[in-house]
Chain A
């Protein structure tokens, strides 16, 4: 280290390294860096030497050998004759799946809870307070196990769906299409037949049309002061009514299940349909947007002779059928992990959102109110966009936490990368060092990628200073 600094440039003395402010900071950094490298080097050489003493070498060739174990949830094709690295990839995809689903759900839950936490309604704000404080202060592992136990103990086993089970004890599908069992949720899988390509094209065109509509609408509003022309407003309201009725019609029960089932489903169906209909009716602009997206798609669906069909869950042997040519199986392990992660992280997000909103001066909402905006619009148009600048940076660490916490998956038997590469593969091959290093590299890559994406987003929305 001294060879670099000894190159004296006239009047340089060695003690200037720590007495002269010009050199001191770089000198200290170099020293600290070398010390760090020495420490790392010592740890690595120690580990290698100790592994050698145990008669273990350090190589990754085990990844190319047959895994010989099965994994229940696989997003790519995999069998027990696949290799260990393929098992690792299956695990990685499972980790990414639950992390992706969790990040979306925790954002939705967090934003809603954070906004409601500031509600002027005493009951609502206290309810949110209870949610946030209760969930934040119970260990995540306990929550995951709790959800899993609720699923496996309270939902019916597949055999309770059988024909020969007496009427009173027999379990039935939700809306005749979703089987909620203690082995997971079976939901219909869409099958795209010839002609569904047309629907895809129609949908893409609809999305383009939506952008076009938004542009034209903004110009219209600048010019006239109205959101949309009166005729379009009426069209939006008419569509909202049709849409609500359509949803009710879709959810109508078939009349072969007991009186209780029919009434229950009727109530739920009408509630959902009416709720959606009324919401759209009161927001005619949104209603028009939904119409642009949905209407052409529905027309194309019937014109092309209903090219999309559904594979419903079907009881066969021990289980409902699932897989490539049957319904989609969302296992309870995934559902419990996803719910627990989202609800837990959502509580932290709620606090961040609340902090972000409270960071916006009160004058902003008062000014918006003076312009005649209603509270909902003040929140969505004035407060939240500004609060976003405060919310995004701490939000990154919540997404990272959620992703890393997903490694608790093994507690409920969800086969994430910690379960495959860091669990079964590690056990069957005994390559702890190699497996754990790969795991660390994987989580590091994912975390840094999430960070990078959200930092980029943050750059885009932050206050432009000129």
Chain B
């Protein structure tokens, strides 16, 4: 009898402890770094240099967030995740934020219990084929073997595309981008399909990139963005507004070079509020007043990140230009 009472108490206590967790932002401040889930390696978006240091467009966002919270762009640790493991990693709290070219869909937002914070890259699913195949359109791919990463939205789009067009295909499912490259280059599949940005990035790493072409068809909308757990609003706001700060910085001409100068003598009140020389935006977010300055200095504004990591791969701004230049990237006002 006594043992059961004892265990009952223990169970209740453990249960209560499991449920009562502090806010993620407080947890992050306590542990001293941001844990960021990224791709296992995708040129341009997340990759490591010879010293094992992470770089890339998605990585840049993580570093900006770390800089906003701690004032230090290196106060971030990266967890490489595959298409399959990413959601479990986020849901279980293994990572605080997932910045891993993840498509914003209704079911992920609503049913999986995540909150998407914005779209840092507007993408669409495309196809890459060897030039020697002589294919010029995706509608000529009837009967082809297609390399595809499992556990991604691309798998569903591919099935829909071929079904709607009354064509058959043979899926060759693979886990990571590296495996896809191996299979594709060995000719085990005719076509590789994933987000067009990913294709361009992969193609750029080939020995002979000119022997391969991207087909003109873009068969889906793939808005890629960072996400956090649902119900994690305070922490979500920090990531969301860090991203907006990078966007607004490009719009206002704030770069990593001039951020400090503009913070001390802002050209207009908008920039002043964002960079913390006016108002108390930082305090509202639970961050230091100069959070945006640190975020921008971490790797540059949105445009600088894009120019550094994606333009060299031959990826143009396209939909990802600022709204003022005909694109879709738009930051709400800082007030």
- Where the two chains meet, the residues of A that have a C-beta atom closer than 8 Å to any C-beta of B are 1-2, 31, 34-35, 38-39, 41-42, 45-46, 49-50, 53-56, 68-72, 79-81, 149, 152-153, 157, 159, 182-183, 316-319, 332, 410-411, 413, 415, 419, 423-424, 426-430, 432
Contacts and interface: CB of A to CB of B under 8 A. Distances in A.
Contact of B150 (A2, A81, A152, A410): A410
Contacts of B155: 69-70, 424
Given A1-B1, A68-B159, A317-B142, A49 B19 contact: yes
B278 interface: no
Given A182-B187, A182-B188, A68 B83 contact: no
Looking at chain B's contact residues, the main secondary structure is mixed
Contacts of A410: 150, 173, 175
A56 B7 CA distance: 27
Interface string B7-43: 1101100110011000000000000000000000000
A69 B1 contact: no
Nearest to A323: B168
Most buried by B among A56, A71, A81, A428: A428
B16 to A, nearest CB: 9
Given A1-B1, A318-B145, A319-B143, A419 B19 contact: no
15 contacts: A1-B4, A2-B1, A45-B11, A45-B15, A54-B229, A70-B155, A182-B188, A183-B170, A318-B141, A318-B144, A332-B188, A410-B150, A410-B173, A424-B150, A426-B84
B113 interface: yes
A38 B143 contact: no
Nearest to A322: B170
Given A2-B1, A46-B14, A427-B151, 15 more contacts: A35-B7, A38-B7, A42-B11, A49-B18, A49-B19, A54-B113, A54-B229, A55-B230, A79-B163, A182-B188, A183-B170, A318-B190, A419-B150, A423-B84, A424-B150
B327 interface: no
B111 A430 contact: yes
**Residue among B15, B162, B175, B186 having the largest count of chain A Cβ atoms under 10 Å:** B186
B169 A46 contact: no
B187 A427 contact: no
B159 A423 contact: no
Contact of B113 (A55, A81, A157, A159): A55
B317 interface: no
B186 A430 contact: no
B147 to A, nearest CB: 9
A415 to B, nearest CB: 7
B108 interface: yes
Contacts of A80: 159-160, 163
A283 B144 CA distance: 50
Interface string B164-193: 000001111111000000110011111000
B151 A424 contact: yes
Contacts of B328: none
B156 interface: yes
Contact of B231 (A55, A149, A424): A55
Contacts, number: 134
A80 B143 CA distance: 16
B204 interface: no
B143 A316 contact: yes
A71 B170 CA distance: 8
Contact of B173 (A1, A46, A72, A318): A72
A45 B14 CA distance: 11
B18 A69 contact: no
Nearest to A154: B186
Given A38-B4, A332-B188, A427 B87 contact: yes
B112 interface: yes
A152 B151 contact: no
B172 A72 contact: yes
A183 B186 CA distance: 10
A81 B159 CA distance: 9
B324 interface: no
B70 to A, nearest CB: 27
B231 A70 contact: no
A45 to B, nearest CB: 7
A319 B144 contact: yes
Nearest to A68: B156
B321 interface: no
Given A56-B113, A72-B172, A430-B87, A183 B4 contact: no
B84 A427 contact: yes
A54 B229 CA distance: 8
A430 B173 CA distance: 19
B88 interface: yes
Contacts of B3: 31, 34-35
B19 A318 contact: no
B162 to A, nearest CB: 8
A319 B15 CA distance: 56
A42 B160 CA distance: 44
B151 A430 contact: no
B313 interface: no
A59 to B, nearest CB: 12
B91 interface: yes
A71 B113 contact: no
A455 to B, nearest CB: 36
Contacts of B174: 413
Contacts of A430: 87, 91, 107-108, 111-113
Nearest to B2: A2
Contact of B91 (A54, A157, A319): A54
Q: Closest 8 CB pairs between A and B?
A: A157-B187, A80-B159, A427-B151, A430-B112, A317-B143, A42-B11, A413-B173, A152-B188
Contact of A319 (B83, B145, B183, B186): B145
A54 B151 CA distance: 22
A183 B183 CA distance: 10
A449 to B, nearest CB: 28
Interface string B132-165: 0000000001111100001110011011101100
Among A2, A183, A426, A427, the one with the most B-chain Cβ atoms within 10 Å of its Cβ is A427
Nearest to B156: A68
Contacts of A31: 3
B229 to A, nearest CB: 7
A183 B14 contact: no
B173 A415 contact: yes
A56 B156 CA distance: 23
Nearest to B92: A432
